[in-house]
């Protein structure tokens, strides 16, 4: 059904890709050893998830505190928003090659390179989210004697959850999709199926694409669910 909708010149088939995901297939260049199959798919998926998680945590650890602080103080708009725009233009491959000279290739290199991708949306959204919070409850909080930290964590942050989470969600999608370049930086991720066309063939290539897309959608739904849990009931009502 879906296969019929694909352009006829597409060399791989959905059926072939699905078969590749579950059953090892023969390859022209491996000297008879089969490639693909569920075992390898699981291994590469776990690697991709691992590096995504590390990079996301690193990006959050760097960007969230800075964004929250600047947003609360209302300073550094040029920095927070400007960085968000510039950060999207960082060439990942060049970054990996540059860091290869200093820290070598491998998990650390890739984690940092991907975190760089995740910092801008989280930072910008944290800043904007906090700035957008209605001034009336903030003034009220200050009026009843809350400390600045209490205002940030008990008033501003809960009210900014949807915007904060939107930043984290963008960062996650960017990171998990880009983690596909892992195999050229020493980490075997699902990109292996996509980069090594000679080894895995077109079915492997399509399978890799499908798996990365599924992984991104899964993470996105998980985070959407988490966002609902974190958003205060009052905000949900007003949004509805």
Partner 1 sequence: MRNTTQRARASVAVLLALFLSLGVAACGSSNDGSTEGEEGGGAIVSNPKNGKVSLTIGSKNFPEQEILGEIYAQALKAAGYKVKSALNLGSETVAHKAVKSGQISGYPEYASTALTSFFGLEPEEVPAGAQAAYEKANEEFEKEGLTAFPPTPFASANAVGTLKKTAEKEGLKTISDLKGKSEHLSLYGSPECRQRIDCLAGLEKYYGLKFKSFTPVDIGLRYKVLETGQADLSILFTTDAQLSAEKDKFVILEDDKHVFPAGNIIFVSKASTAEKAGPDYEKTIVQVQEGLTLPVMQELDARVELEKQSPAKAAAAYLEEAGYTK
Q: Which is nearer to partner 1, 186 or 209 (CB)?
A: 186
Residues 58-97 that bind partner 1 (CB under 8 A): 93, 96-97
Among 11, 15, 65, 82, binds partner 1 (CB under 8 A): 11
Shortest Å distance, C-beta 31 to partner 1? 3
Q: Which is nearer to partner 1, 65 or 106 (CB)?
A: 106
Residues 119-138 that bind partner 1 (CB under 8 A): none
Is residue 112 close enough to count as binding partner 1 by CB under 8 A? Answer: no
Show the tokens assigned to 199.
Answer: 């080894």
Shortest Å distance, C-beta 18 to partner 1? 21
Among 81, 105, 146, 161, binds partner 1 (CB under 8 A): 105
Cα–Cα distance for residue pair 5/65, rounded to 1 Å: 47
Shortest Å distance, C-beta 116 to partner 1? 18
Show the tokens assigned to 129.
Answer: 């989210």
Shortest Å distance, C-beta 224 to partner 1? 33
Residues 160-199 that bind partner 1 (CB under 8 A): 183-186, 188, 192, 195-199
Cα–Cα distance for residue pair 128/201, rounded to 1 Å: 45
φ/ψ bin of 6: left (φ > 0), alpha (ψ from -120 to 50), beta (otherwise): beta
Cα–Cα distance for residue pair 50/226, rounded to 1 Å: 19
Beta carbons of 203 and 20 less than 8 angstroms apart: yes
DSSP 93-116: HHHHHHHHHHH-SSHHHHHHHHHH
Beta carbons of 44 and 193 less than 8 angstroms apart: yes
Show the tokens assigned to 52.
Answer: 């995504």
Cα–Cα distance for residue pair 202/158, rounded to 1 Å: 47
Beta carbons of 235 and 159 less than 8 angstroms apart: yes
Among 152, 201, 206, 207, binds partner 1 (CB under 8 A): 201
From residue 25 to residue 54, what is the string marking binding to partner 1 with x (rule CB under 8 A)?
A: --xxxxxxx-x-------------------
Among 106, 139, 228, 236, binds partner 1 (CB under 8 A): 106
What is the binding site for partner 1 (CB under 8 A)? 11, 27-33, 35, 93, 96-97, 100-101, 104-106, 183-186, 188, 192, 195-199, 201-202
């Amino acid at each position: 059904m879906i296969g019929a909708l694909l352009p006829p010149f597409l060399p791989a088939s959905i059926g072939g890709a699905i078969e590749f995901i579950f059953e090892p297939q023969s390859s022209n260049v491996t000297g008879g050893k089969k490639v693909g199959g569920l075992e390898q798919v699981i291994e590469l998926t776990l690697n991709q998830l691992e590096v995504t998680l590390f990079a996301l945590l690193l990006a959050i650890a760097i960007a969230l505190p800075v964004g929250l602080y600047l947003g609360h103080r209302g300073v550094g708009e040029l920095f927070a928003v400007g960085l968000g725009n510039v950060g999207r233009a960082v060439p990942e491959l060049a970054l990996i090659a540059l860091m290869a000279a200093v820290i070598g290739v491998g998990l650390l290199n890739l984690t940092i390179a991907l975190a760089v991708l995740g910092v801008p949306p989280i930072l910008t959204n944290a800043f904007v989210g906090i700035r957008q919070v209605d001034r009336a409850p903030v003034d009220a909080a200050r009026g009843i004697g809350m400390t600045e930290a209490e205002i940030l964590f008990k008033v501003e942050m809960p009210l900014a959850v949807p915007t904060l989470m939107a930043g984290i969600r963008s960062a996650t999608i960017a990171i998990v999709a880009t983690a596909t370049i892992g195999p050229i930086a020493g980490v075997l991720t699902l990109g292996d199926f996509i980069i090594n066309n000679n080894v895995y063939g077109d079915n492997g290539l399509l399978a890799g694409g499908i798996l990365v897309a599924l992984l991104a959608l899964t993470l996105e739904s998980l985070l959407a669910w988490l966002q609902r849990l974190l958003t205060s009931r009052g905000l949900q009502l007003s949004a509805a």
